[in-house]
Structure 1
Amino acid sequence: MLTYKQELQQAKQFLLEHDDYLIVSHVQPDGDAVSSTLAVGWLLSRLGKKYIMVNEGAIPKRMKVLWHADELINMTEQRPEGDFNHVICVDCADFLRVGRTRELFADDALILNIDHHPTNDRYGHVHVVLPEAAATAEILYDLIHEFDVEWNADIAAAIYTGLLTDTGGFRYSNTSPKVMSIASNLLSHGVNGPELAESLLEEMTLPQMKVLVKALNTLQLSEDGKVAWVYVTPEDMADTGAMNEDLEGIVNFPRNIQGVEVGILFKAVSPDAVKASFRSAGKVDVAALAQEFGGGGHVRAAGCRIEGGLDQVMSQVIKAVKKAL
């Protein structure tokens, strides 16, 4: 197996060898997915390469202040023309998670896979996978330093956003000394850390607050108090006017209850399908748990989509969590 440094060198060669690229991430992109996509775009622009950035799902509105975020195409609203021979997948643990963007890949497309999820199976022709990285943005920080390009506030803000969101504002256990060193360096390039933290982690829209109230009103705990969960229905989303991005962070509320080992947010996406988001205090590997249901993620944060009605899925998942405990 190649060392991390060797993987970075292979990725560098991949970016230098070709002239046009498709950059994609996972469906319903979060902060790290968006920032990593934009970071790759920024690097390619500095290298004089052609590129297009596409995802399945809208990016969170609060991230539209980042460099060229308005150029990131939502596949559900617009389908770019052409088949792409050189594809860069960022923050995508599972190849299937690229969603409908797969339609843009040429049959013989060469794929560069850049990710930090431990469940990543190293798909693609070239890959840089570092599970100990706090965010894919951390890997992009290292990759960009392989090139002779001058850093500025635009790229610094993008990388900082990925770190900020995937470490929960530098509060999660993945906040390593390296992460803090990188953050310090990014601040020196003009990033407004407090402003980003306020807009990305603290501010709430009215629909977001309303759907949070709806979710908390469904709070349930297991008999031993080690598992807590909430749920949101399509009716809740419609009544509050909330978007998918407004559910970000809700899963932390049940997890933050004293004594709780695993917090779960169930979102009914249809009468026959439910998305489950997991957060762990550390004793339970929720990535392994999510994999049981076809999902994935990290030891302390993971998710999956399960076919079935809400009550059925909740019962099934809670049973699996109790077994894992």
Structure 2
Amino acid sequence: MNRNQATVEEAARFLREHNRFLVLSHISPDGDATGSALGVVLMLEQLGKEYVVVNEGETPLKFNFLPRFDRLRDLRKQPLAETFEAVIAVDCADESRMGDVRSLFASGAALLNIDHHPTNDDFGSVNLVRPEAAATAEILFDVAEQAGIAFNEELALCIYTGLLTDTGGFRYSNTTPRVMEIAARLLSYGVKPGEVAERCLEEITFAHVKVLRRALQTLELSHGSLVASIAVSVGDFSEANAQREDAGGLVNYCRNIEGVEVGVSFVEAEPGVVKVSMRARDRVDVSAIAKQLGGGGHAKASGCTVKGTIAEAKQKVWDVLEPALGVKHDE
């Protein structure tokens, strides 16, 4: 029996052995984080377990088609006084990505960490971490099978959403034969791929368009035109009457420019706090860049949070990126 399979069994046992759970994903959740968290919730329901599912901050409304979305609790608006003996964290690249939730953990709480980021620091008491997996949802599929969970349209929709979004609509290099095999099985339960793609990948808010219009005015090519960057300030959000989630995906406009190796977006979430997203082609492992700045992720898609102004955040990123590319910012 290989180590991965033994860990899947251990994760399934974790679900069976506890009765009440705190379920959480990472701050600023994407489709994989949200789909995986709600997938865990559906599994727990089948097992007759109790749960509270939370996040620090709001979950993007574009995922409100997922079952049990209305159960997601924003801890910033709905704080909890309860503590939990059993915690399940999904899609958190490291402990900091859980947000400020430690106060909800009972002393000696057992924590199941299910994730696929290579920068994961094994912060759980049970760590089911598979960097080769395309999405956390792919790992969750195996856990569901191991736990004897009956697949239905609701569970299939959650897992499919995670696979779809973390593979960029099955376009990224992490789209393996196994991903497609799992996706095909999930479709057999009634998932409508066109509708999911429309909600997750195609549909945008008008506020996003207004933020994009402002962001494109900041577009800059640097490092010998190998890097393209874009920035959004708190003022931009205010003028566009937009929320932070309306800045999602801006980094892709940078990375997709012909000849660019690394795309970077700098989003000022609040004064003095800048969210940095990085996307790469082949020459740079941006997870290594992000890790040096306290973040993490994947070789071609990573991020971090930097304290300071946008200008200060840029300088910190350039200081790390320059030696990785072998090209200075102004060359």
Q: Normalised by the size of structure 1, how large is the TM-score?
A: 0.97
1:186 aligns with 2:179: no
Shift of 1:223: 4.8
Find the aligned partners of 1:93 and 1:107 in 2 and give their Cα distance.
Answer: 23
Find the aligned partners of 2:166 and 2:113 in 1 and give their Cα distance.
Answer: 19
1:309 aligns with 2:309: yes
Find the aligned partners of 1:308 and 1:59 in 2 and give their Cα distance.
Answer: 25
Shift of 1:269: 2.8
SS at 2:225's partner residue?
Answer: coil
Shift of 1:231: 0.1
Partner of 1:83: 83
Q: Is the 8 A contact 2:133 2:139 kept in 1?
A: yes
1:174 aligns with 2:169: no
Q: Is the 8 A contact 1:12 1:143 kept in 2?
A: yes
Partner of 1:108: 108
SS at 1:145's partner residue?
Answer: helix
SS at 1:251's partner residue?
Answer: helix
Displacement over 4 Å in runs of 4+: none
SS at 2:101's partner residue?
Answer: helix
Find the aligned partners of 2:273 and 2:42 in 1 and give their Cα distance.
Answer: 37
Partner of 1:128: 128
SS at 1:276's partner residue?
Answer: strand
1:215 aligns with 2:208: no
Unaligned regions of 5+ residues in structure 1, if any?
none
Comparing 237-246 with 64-73, greater Cα deviation is found at 237-246
1:12 aligns with 2:31: no
Find the aligned partners of 2:319 and 2:80 in 1 and give their Cα distance.
Answer: 43
The residue type paired with residue 48 of structure 1 is G
Q: How does 1:63-82 map to 2 (within 5 A)?
A: 63-82=63-82
Give deviations 1:72-100, integer Å, cap 9, x for gaps. Answer: 11101101231100001110111122112
SS at 1:100's partner residue?
Answer: coil
* RMSD of aligned residue pairs (Cα, Å): 1.3
Shift of 1:319: 3.5
1:263 aligns with 2:269: no
Give deviations 1:277-307, integer Å, cap 9, x for gaps. Answer: 0000122100000011111011000001112
Partner of 1:242: 242
The residue type paired with residue 16 of structure 1 is R
Shift of 1:54: 0.7
SS at 1:37's partner residue?
Answer: helix
Give deviations 1:36-70, integer Å, cap 9, x for gaps. Answer: 10011100100011111011011110111111110
1:296 aligns with 2:260: no
The residue type paired with residue 278 of structure 1 is M
Partner of 2:328: none
Find the aligned partners of 2:219 and 2:55 in 1 and give their Cα distance.
Answer: 33
Find the aligned partners of 1:89 and 1:19 in 2 and give their Cα distance.
Answer: 16
Change (3 A) 1:283 1:78: same
Change (3 A) 1:315 1:153: same
The residue type paired with residue 48 of structure 2 is G
